[in-house]
Amino acid sequence: MKSRLIALAWFWIWAASIYGQTIGTETVYVYNYNGFSEKITDNAIAELKKYYPRVQKASAINLPEWARYKPKGCYTGSSILNQLRRIRKTDVLIGFTDKDICYNNHGKEHFRCMGISRTDKGLSVVTTSRFKTKATTQLYFNRLMLHELGHAFGLNHCSDKNCIMVDAKGKNQFGHTPSFCSRCKEFLGKKNWKFDKI
Ligand SMILES: [Zn+2]
Ligand SMILES: [Zn+2]
């Protein structure tokens, strides 16, 4: 009986270490897909560290072929996110790609998009495939990454037109949304994001 209780306690501690992790103490792991630009990745990580210091570059991985939606030649975002969570059970995970990713509208249609996140699961994936001007790619990519990570840390879309968390509705609005509004900053501040040096 006693040993069974001890085993149960150990199981509980183990389970809590996986599921009980509080968002804000987690590391953000950045996954680079299929030879995505190292330069863009390193620059984006440096930008993210200004807001959230616990960031790790993970080893490069391939987009799962089973996630490919052949009629449109894009990769289904939800499948990419599922693969990420299988690779690592804890922490916040984000994948960078230059391939088209799409949003599966309950199997009805696949819309191409710039990024997809799971607010409840701490997962994001972003792509450069929809950026047209090379000169602004890095700047907009950094903002796109912050937008999607905002979701991954629990933020929904924001009604403030100048906030980085505004709903892009599939368009690239990052030219005029340089930062988070005060409400979104307050939310992320509770998850250990820092805005004092920005
Ligand atoms: Zn969004
Ligand atoms: Zn906002």
Map out the domains of the chain with their CATH numbers: 25-189 (3.40.390.10)
What's the average model confidence in pLDDT over 112-129? Answer: 95
pLDDT for the residue 9: 59
Residue 173, phi-psi category: left (phi > 0), alpha (psi -120 to 50), beta (remainder): alpha
Residue 153, both tokens: 């840390």
Does 111 score more than 60 pLDDT? Answer: yes
Report the separation in Å between the CA atom of 23 and the middle of ligand 2, taken as the mean of its atom positions.
Answer: 19
Tokens (6 digits) for 44: 């984006």
Output the pLDDT for position 21: 52
Give me the residue label for tokens 């009986």: 1
CA of 40 to the centre of ligand 2 (A): 25
Interval between CA 189 and ligand 2 midpoint (Å): 13
* Separation between Cα atoms, residue 23 and residue 193, nearest integer Å: 11
The reported pTM is 0.86
- pLDDT of 23 above 70: no
Ligand that comes closest to the CA of residue 146? 1
The pLDDT of residue 106 is: 75
d(CA 171, CA 169): 6
Question: What are the pLDDT digits (tens) for 26-76?
Answer: 999 999 999 899 999 999 999 999 999 999 999 999 999 999 999 989 999
In the chain, which ranges are continuous DSSP H helix? 2-19, 38-51, 77-87, 134-152, 182-189
Alpha-carbon torsion (80, 84, 49, 134), positive or negative: negative
Position 128 pLDDT exceeds 90: yes
> Which pLDDT does position 8 carry in this prediction?
56
SS3 at position 98? coil
Pick the ligand that lies closest to the CA of residue 116: 1
pLDDT of 185 over the 80 cut = yes
In degrees and rounded to multiples of 5, residue 126 shows phi and psi of -135, 150
Mean pLDDT score, 111-130: 94
How confident is the model at residue 20, as a pLDDT? 46
Predicted pLDDT at 132? 83
| DSSP secondary structure string for all residues of 144-170 | HHHHHHHHHTT---BS-TTBTTB--TT
How many A from CA of 186 to the centre of ligand 2?
Answer: 9
C-alpha to C-alpha distance for 13 and 142, rounded to whole angstroms? 37
pLDDT tens-digit map of 145-176 = 999 999 999 999 999 999 999 997 767 788 88
Ligand 2 centre to CA of 156 (Å) is 9
